[in-house]
Amino acid sequence: MAFPAGFGWRAAASAYQVEGGWDADGKGPSVWDTFTHQGRERVFKNQTGDVACGSYTLWEEDLKCIKQLGLTHYRFSLSWSRLLPDGTTGFINQKGIDYYNKIIDDLLKNGVAPIVTLFHFDLPQALEDRGGWLSETIVESFDNYARFCFSTFGDRVKQWITINEPNIFSLMAYEFGSFPPGVPHPGTKGYQAAHNLIKAHARSWHSYDSLFRKEQKGKVSLAIFAAWVEPADPNSVSDQEAAKRAMAFQLDFFAKPIFIDGDYPGAVKSQIALMSKKQGYPVSRLPEFTEEEKRMIKGTADFFAVQYYTTRLVKYQESKRGELGFLQDVEVEIFTDPSWTSLSWIYMVPWGIRKLLKYIKDTYNSPVIYITENGFPQGDTSSLDDTQRWEYFRQTFQELFKAIQIDEVNLQVYCAWSLLDNFEWCQGYSSRFGLFHVDFEDPARPRVPYTSAKQYAKIIQNNGLEGPL
């Protein structure tokens, strides 16, 4: 089962989750530094990313892991506040530039191409203090930061992700308040943040396109999270419609403006307008793009980056009158099939990724697709033998092969989450997605390969699975 020649095999990490060095060498505080230092049991056992995997000082150890796997590409994110401590180019931290220059140069020396994410949830606290993603000013702040990064690193970085999972981020940070700034605003601020995230992405794409693309010849997109969604009762019209709404609200909400026409899906606009009217709002709680903004947003991606972890079943659930919230707007109940195996919030449904890829192909005119994250947590955190977890990876690769060969999906990249066990946001260090085990009790933070790492290295070496499908 050989994948197409030149297929990209990758693994990923993000700055706050692995680097540590939270205040080292002039780095400014990020919202996650503030959030975790407040305690309040917002994170498992009040754990923080102050040290994490120690990658700020142990980059060479990460590089050994990357070489051991034989990766073609490595995806990592830049810490905005390590480069620009107050979020602006008014003060530039040279030590931060030096750190990322070393990563990029070391990767290239070893034949590994960097794919760089500009924003992976860790906004500089100074910008949060000025309104963060709820303020229209963030669009210009992000564009200035993006231009700085393109100018500084773009001579060597040819693939960029502007924003990681804007749909998850806007919900967790501003709808539920589980991520910093930590204040829930059901049914309102999540949409406002999403609106600014889309505009910030589009602005930065245009900056790359007009100022850097000709010379640097790179590609820019954003990475959207998507679960696959099935109707609980395939014969129920209301459940079928609920599944369509769920896909519209989680994936198409961001993808349609960027890949199709610059505007939100009709189903999303009409649904939120209807619910807003029922609740006595004079206008929809969903902000509107101007015609000029729609023209700016349309077509601002050079590939379709998607992040899949799991599948859910949905059925129609009428919202109670006056109850505000994202799920209330979608009017769905979400659940799982009792036959599915679960590890934490992830249910193992490998066939869901094939269906999702086919949906993207059919809905978005057969784009080039990168899977920029996919993975599974290790169930037994005391063991390096994760044979069961590897079986889920293996089944996933089988489904990807079918998507390419049978469904003719133009999939060009697979990126495993994650290179290392790391700080998994609110789950702290209790959830281990790494291909390499990290001992967080040992100050040296040793990296040791799980069985999955050894098996993934074979997949990369063979450019696919051995044996028939």
Rounded to the nearest 5°, which phi and psi values hold at 6?
85, 5
Catalytic center residues: 165, 373
Q: How far apart are CA 123 and CA 155, in angstroms?
A: 25
Given a contact cutoff of 8 angstroms between Cβ atoms, the answer to whether 179 and 35 are in contact is yes
Structure tokens at 341: 């195996």
- C-alpha atoms less than 13 angstroms from C-alpha of 399 in its C-beta half-sphere: 21
Query: Residue 164 forms beta bridges with which residues?
Result: 223
Q: CA 194, CA 160: separation in Å to the nearest integer?
A: 20
List alpha helices for 173-247, DSSP H.
Answer: 189-207, 213-216, 237-247
Give the list of residues 6+ apart from residue 266 with CB closer than 8 angstroms, or none: none
The torsion of the CA quartet 19, 25, 29, 35, rounded to 10 degrees, works out to 40
Q: Is the dihedral of CA 361, 365, 367, 372 positive or negative?
A: negative
Nearest to 186 by CA among 345, 322, 314, 277: 322
Contact 116, 180 (CB under 8 A): no
Instruction: Tell me how far CA of residue 380 lies from CA of 254, 311, 340, 432, 435, in angstroms.
Output: 36, 22, 18, 9, 14
